[in-house]
Structure 1
């Protein structure tokens, strides 16, 4: 839950190396004093601290050896100057400090901060510091982490996570990889993170959303210099608010043919619900027409669930071509299984050459290399399916999600939507997209079927695989977040997300129309 009530974030996401190069450019090429930059970062972090926690009680500041530790010392100094009670613990020995970090430590001491050396504090006293803290500031490792945190940092990370007090991470939660969002060993679970200079990609994908909490960004007035530095972002941050404008405005004289015909091929025996959810989601996301091709026994239940969907019961793949010829976009995979029925259906879809969304078992079948690369397809693997597509382990996928998505795209073409917290959309453009946000209620069967239906619907309307994939992932998450407001996380079901789609879309229509209700466009 956001602590700040929401705040805007830039789109560009950088690797740790790129941010370090931007920082070096600002200091070396633009003549900005490094210590002044550190002071600005600390002042910004302190402002965020009091905005999030106006009455924090005792503040425990944990400082490392590098510039991240320097930020921490100056945050402690700011807090003391404002009359707050501060306990400052030097996790790295202060006699090892150098450069701007040493200057920061000296200034903190001069400003009245009582810095205690971790090595000189008894274990019982350390425990008491964590117990009495009303807020913990993590300024131990920042972007400098590489691999498993060593002692004594690992022990302090563990104590942070065991403490009752919330944690504010400075620049990055200690132990989190700034580039990939992976955690080797342990990382601080922060309630909020204040990050500087450039947004780190690892805060938004992989395990980043779990550890970073609410992310705030402070550019420290380096925005223009970040561009001048020549450092390219690693990815682009996308959310529903930033991408919803791509959804086409509807004319007063619009008709169903204008918004595409989606064919959903789904639902072998035992998995009929997958097709029904995908088809209904396609309808709710605005497709002009939706046809569901499924097993004959699911025709009546599908019509009862969503009578606006045209439903055809198929026994053999040879029955599918007439339905394919009428469709603009095909969604294939939810619940098709890997038996003869599903293989026949997928073969017909692939042979058609039509724009398509491949999900679930269609991906497992494609993993055997039965499909040729195609530019007009969207693949939607979760990490397990991605591991089969790349013939590697799930851990390999999660170790660098952006790289994995791009590798799948290079093998199979089109657009790859790698699902998970911080969904990655790779499309062969300048930058992949990372969809900002996560929702634990979506960790249940059927959510992917809903996403595939939304994808097919937007692909039919936008006729752009990349925009459709990013917009669909963002819309899917926004609808899940809306549904969770009344359903919570544990009880959230795919049908709740489908039911929330019209409300999210309606609010976007009103916003884009300037708050004047449904928007209309008069045809020329």
Structure 2
């Protein structure tokens, strides 16, 4: 069973270079001894280890040659002093150790930790140590390593992943790019990651979202060192626990006109469900009015699913302006296809000048045209759509998701919400947002349609588009996680996510009421 921990995380997340600069600032400007800082990191990691796995022995610690390896040797020393059975596997030759890492190695050896040099051991012996382990600590490669791990690290990572043992990664899983979240080669799959000094952006997006497991942050007394050192965050972490505070409180005399009229333009022939799900998601997220413009053959199904919708069957773009005139926000793209019907719908939506969410085939249609930047649209591409909009490959997008979102925003303006593992929101007005959460059950058709409906609803209720978009992504991911916990991931449906939304919003409302309740 996976460990359960509820980390308290700061908002700012940094590049690997920035975290190293903050670490250097602590040592050079605050006068913190480097080895003492390493000891503090190891003690914090060991505390987390025994919290997550109270009986972690036999414990195997895989150590590299840098400071990450030094952390590992000191974790092993802590374990030995507490009477645990522990062995260090030196993946890098111990004679290459220097500085604080050498001091950590000497301390572990002095404390009686058994150290196995993988370079002098047959591969089968390393595999045997992993097979016997109850828990493995990954302290092989730190933030200074980029590119694919070389041998023997790549081979040990493969053995570790194949062993199926729970892993605690120190600072980050070996093989992961701490800045971008990309993995150019083998990467450790950890149950939990304890990270220090500053939170690394790559832990929350791309491969990091899959490799890190539960993430725990230990500041090690750094406090405001990030600000003091002058290092700028790469992104801001925005979980639902923060975003829910941005939702407007509804007055006692509220009426539907206060909460926006969302028009969903979606659902060509054979794709009626996309528009229905987007419209229902908007209704469940508190939109005052929701209209759906779709193919006539989908009208009955839409009303049967959600009778509160105002549904209009449209066969030509000329029928849309009257509906657009009444809307405050327009959602366009789910299931519209790229035929003449879908192109007419998108043309009318763009011509209206209304604030709009463009998703799915609306993005694919735009990708075939010269960019027409607009300040009041929200683009919600998945990596494939992002690649088409940028004229690059999906691998290019996934190699640095934050950079890809920034490029999209510069090219198309408005707000860009890059979907995928570790959602990124770029606004052009400040630091991008990374929204944590989500699960493998979301890898099914229709999840993006639900997000589009949520976006339409919150854009219609919140005065500022940026927090509305970030909160929408956070709500969507939280609803998916709660639905996944209740129903599992393999059979998760987009409608399960819609069904989870009201309870999440209800808890946010109760929290607001508790905060505002008088004596």
- TM-score, normalised on structure 1? 0.97
How many angstroms apart in 1 are the aligned matches of 2:235 and 2:394? Answer: 22
How many angstroms apart in 2 are the aligned matches of 1:427 and 1:212? Answer: 27
Task: Tell me if the contact between 1:148 and 1:175 (Cα under 8 Å) persists in the aligned partners.
Answer: yes
How many angstroms apart in 2 are the aligned matches of 1:123 and 1:250? Answer: 64
Distance 1:59 1:2, change over 3 A: closer
How many angstroms apart in 2 are the aligned matches of 1:371 and 1:343? Answer: 16
- Moved runs in structure 1, 4+ residues, more than 3 A? none
How many angstroms apart in 2 are the aligned matches of 1:329 and 1:46? Answer: 51
Cα deviation for residue 123 of structure 1 reads: 2.7
Query: Which residues in structure 2 correspond to 1:82-231 (within 5 Å)?
Result: 82-231=82-231
SS of the residue aligned with 1:231? coil
Task: Tell me if the contact between 1:209 and 1:421 (Cα under 8 Å) persists in the aligned partners.
Answer: yes
Q: Does 2:261 match 1:261?
A: yes
How many angstroms apart in 1 are the aligned matches of 2:228 and 2:111? Answer: 36
Cα deviation for residue 520 of structure 1 reads: 9.3
Cα deviation for residue 370 of structure 1 reads: 5.5
How many angstroms apart in 2 are the aligned matches of 1:321 and 1:2? Answer: 53
How many angstroms apart in 2 are the aligned matches of 1:120 and 1:253? Answer: 76
How many angstroms apart in 1 are the aligned matches of 2:104 and 2:87? Answer: 16
Task: Tell me if the contact between 1:280 and 1:306 (Cα under 8 Å) persists in the aligned partners.
Answer: yes
Q: Cα deviation per residue 1:186-240 (whole Å; 9 max; x = unaligned)? A: 1000001010000000000001011101100000001222210000010001111
Task: Tell me if the contact between 2:179 and 2:202 (Cα under 8 Å) persists in the aligned partners.
Answer: yes
Which residue of 2 is the match for residue 284 of structure 1? 284
SS of the residue aligned with 2:106? helix
SS of the residue aligned with 1:448? helix
Q: Cα deviation per residue 1:9-55 (whole Å; 9 max; x = unaligned)? A: 11111000000111111111211110000000000000000000001
Which residue of 1 is the match for residue 510 of structure 2? 510
Q: Cα deviation per residue 1:377-431 (whole Å; 9 max; x = unaligned)? A: 1000000000000000000000000010011111111000000111000001221
Moved more, 118-127 or 21-30: 118-127
Which residue of 1 is the match for residue 302 of structure 2? 302
Cα deviation for residue 371 of structure 1 reads: 5.5
Which residue of 1 is the match for residue 323 of structure 2? 323
How many angstroms apart in 1 are the aligned matches of 2:56 and 2:433? Answer: 36
Task: Tell me if the contact between 2:438 and 2:478 (Cα under 8 Å) persists in the aligned partners.
Answer: no
Moved more, 218-227 or 393-402: 218-227
Which residue of 1 is the match for residue 340 of structure 2? 340
Task: Tell me if the contact between 1:350 and 1:371 (Cα under 8 Å) persists in the aligned partners.
Answer: no
Q: Cα deviation per residue 1:219-268 (whole Å; 9 max; x = unaligned)? A: 00012222100000100011111111111111110000000000000011
How many angstroms apart in 2 are the aligned matches of 1:286 and 1:333? Answer: 21
Which residue of 2 is the match for residue 34 of structure 1? 34
Which residue of 1 is the match for residue 80 of structure 2? 80
Task: Tell me if the contact between 1:363 and 1:379 (Cα under 8 Å) persists in the aligned partners.
Answer: yes
Cα deviation for residue 511 of structure 1 reads: 2.0
Which residue of 2 is the match for residue 404 of structure 1? 404
SS of the residue aligned with 2:341? helix
How many angstroms apart in 2 are the aligned matches of 1:485 and 1:90? Answer: 39
SS of the residue aligned with 1:322? helix
Task: Tell me if the contact between 2:25 and 2:229 (Cα under 8 Å) persists in the aligned partners.
Answer: yes
The runs of 5 or more residues in structure 2 that have no matched partner are none
Cα deviation for residue 146 of structure 1 reads: 1.2
Moved more, 185-194 or 108-117: 108-117
How many angstroms apart in 2 are the aligned matches of 1:308 and 1:57? Answer: 58
How many angstroms apart in 1 are the aligned matches of 2:372 and 2:464? Answer: 20
Cα deviation for residue 2 of structure 1 reads: 6.5
How many angstroms apart in 2 are the aligned matches of 1:429 and 1:111? Answer: 53
Task: Tell me if the contact between 1:68 and 1:170 (Cα under 8 Å) persists in the aligned partners.
Answer: yes
Cα deviation for residue 116 of structure 1 reads: 1.8
Distance 1:177 1:371, change over 3 A: closer
Task: Tell me if the contact between 2:371 and 2:411 (Cα under 8 Å) persists in the aligned partners.
Answer: no
How many angstroms apart in 1 are the aligned matches of 2:188 and 2:67? Answer: 18
Task: Tell me if the contact between 1:238 and 1:436 (Cα under 8 Å) persists in the aligned partners.
Answer: yes
How many angstroms apart in 2 are the aligned matches of 1:123 and 1:409? Answer: 48
